[in-house]
Amino acid sequence: MEKFTPIESRPAPLVEVGIIGWMRRNLFSSIPNTLVTIFTAYMLWIVLVPFLNWAFISSDWFGESRHDCTSGGACWVFVTVRWNLFMYGFYPEDSYWRPNLAFILLIAIIAWLSIPNLPFKKWVGIAAITIYPVVAYTLLYGGFGLDVIPTHRWGGLMLTLVLALIGIVVAIPIGILLALGRRSEMPVIKMVCVIFIEFWRGVPLITILFMASVMLPLFFAGGTDADKLMRALIGIVMFQSAYMAEVVRGGLQALSKGQFEGADALGLSYWQKMNLVVLPQALKIMIPGIVNTLISLFKDTSLIVIIGLLDVLGMVRQALSDPAWLGYPAEGYLFAAFMFWIFCFSMSRYSIYLEDRLNTGHRN
């Protein structure tokens, strides 16, 4: 009896596997699909190729003045000669180490807190909200033997980060308190929180900044010179905490009533209930919402240009009016956009990572 030998399986036809197969399935599966593919490819060709050529292939990167831009493409020299200005504004050059150190410390703390399995997290966390702000303030502004560098010399990316970080760090706790207050059963607290939230949410940020910079100084005349950056910062924090409060409220309402009742049944106090049962679940649900608010806050910081504070976008616009460098708006704005994109994109990736890590099965 002959033993049955199956025919050896042949590889799938070349047109069905690999890149070609993928393309046949996804790009050229039908006539309309093929037409769309060809059209899109053509559009990419006529847009992307000149852009890449302009931005990378025939561009100039190093030099001293506009005369070094000879290849006809993008003149990145405009950005490189002003790199320090775009990063630090008018901060004195011999003190650049101070903001650098402050941000390195911050990154170290964030890394420590976000990498799993490192010890002493609790203590690092406590230091981050108690000691670090004092250290950072001293480094950036001065005091304790360091020269005072007034805030009107701050600028560039450094100012953007200062505004965004302080906005974020202060707005989250205030926002949580406001949201809890709004759901409180005590009428006065509830009233105050509702009025606060609805007031700040009802005015555009640009109006708040204008009020802070144009109207407020008229009210404290006679030398009481509240710092312009401080005024803007308070405005931003108020505005963002109102938004944050509504995000948090959304998270609180998403929790089923049973969680609250269960905690009550266990005899937990109000704060125990919030800290141990409600907020850990609610905050997890809120991550996309919170990060969304943070990203919009980060971008909103560029509005301070209208009150004459020069963040990274402001420094770029300022640089565009240097008579020796007129005519490079494309390079300048692209650079600013890229800076913003880097930070916003990292925030968004980090939020996805957090969601995955904290996922305990509530998400489908």
Partner 1 sequence: MKKIATIVGAAMAVTAAAGVNASTLDSVKNRGALQCGVSDGLPGFSATDSAGRWQGLDADFCRAVAAAVLGDAEKVNFVSLTATERFTALQSGEIDVLSRNSTWTLTRDASLGLNFAGVNYYDGQGFLVSKDLGVDSALELDGASVCIQSGTTTELNLADYFRMNGMSYEPVLYDTSDQTTAGFEAGRCDILTSDQSQLSALRLQLSNPDAAVVLPEIISKEPLGPVVRQGDDVWFNIVKWTLFAKINAEEMGITSANADEMLSSDDPSVQRLLGSSGNMGELLRLENNWAYNIVKQVGNYGEVFERTVGTGSPLNIERGLNALWTNGGIQYAPPVR
Q: Site residues (CB under 8 A) for partner 1?
A: 81-82, 84-85, 90, 150, 152, 210, 213-215, 217-218, 220-223, 225, 228, 305-308, 310, 314, 317-327, 329
- Shortest Cβ distance from residue 324 to partner 1 (Å)? 6
Question: Smallest distance, Å, CB 218 to partner 1?
Answer: 5
301 burial level (CB within 10 Å; 0-12, 13-18, 19+): buried
Q: Is 160 helix (H, G, I), strand (E, B) or coil?
A: helix
175 vs 314, beta carbon nearer partner 1: 314
Residue among 155 and 175 whose Cβ is closer to partner 1: 155
Least gap, CB of 144 to partner 1 (angstroms)? 22
In the bound state with partner 1, the residue whose beta carbon lies nearer, of 18 and 72, is 72
CA distance 339 to 311: 11
Nearer to partner 1, 182 or 228 (CB): 228
Kindly state the smallest distance separating residue 320's Cβ from partner 1, in Å.
7
Tokens representing residue 307 in the block: 């009150």
Which amino acid would we find at residue 272? Q
Residue closest to 245 by CA, chosen among 207, 280, 206, 286: 286
- Residue closer to partner 1 by CB (options 220, 338) is 220
C-beta closer to partner 1: residue 167 or 314: 314
Asked if residue 287 lies in contact with residue 336, where contact means CB atoms within 8 angstroms, the answer is: no
Buried b (16+ CB within 10 A) or exposed e, 55-93: eeeebbeebeebeebeeebbbbbbbbbbeebbbbbebee
For residue 156, count other CB atoms closer than 10 A to its CB: 27
CB of 330 to partner 1, least distance (A): 10
Return the residue matching tokens 């009533």.
257
Q: What are phi and psi of 224, to 5 degrees?
A: -65, 95
Phi, psi (degrees; rounded to nearest 5) at 9:
-70, 135
Residue 68's DSSP bridge partners are none
For partner 1, give the closer residue by CB, 216 or 347. Answer: 216
In the bound complex, what is the minimum distance in angstroms from residue 229's beta carbon to partner 1?
A: 12
DSSP-based three-state secondary structure for 89: strand
Question: In this structure, what token pair is assigned to residue 44?
Answer: 């990419």
Provide, rounded to whole angstroms, the least separation between the CB of residue 219 and partner 1.
Answer: 8
- Closer residue to partner 1 in complex, CB, 217/250: 217
Nearest one of 355, 356, 346 to 111, comparing CA atoms: 346
CB-nearer residue toward partner 1: 14 or 324: 324
| Residue 182 in tokens | 């709004």
Phi and psi dihedrals of 307, rounded to 5?
A: -110, 20
Q: Which of helix, strand or coil describes residue 143?
A: strand
Q: How far is the CB of 334 from partner 1 (least distance, A)?
A: 14
State the minimum distance, in angstroms, from the CB of residue 222 to partner 1: 5
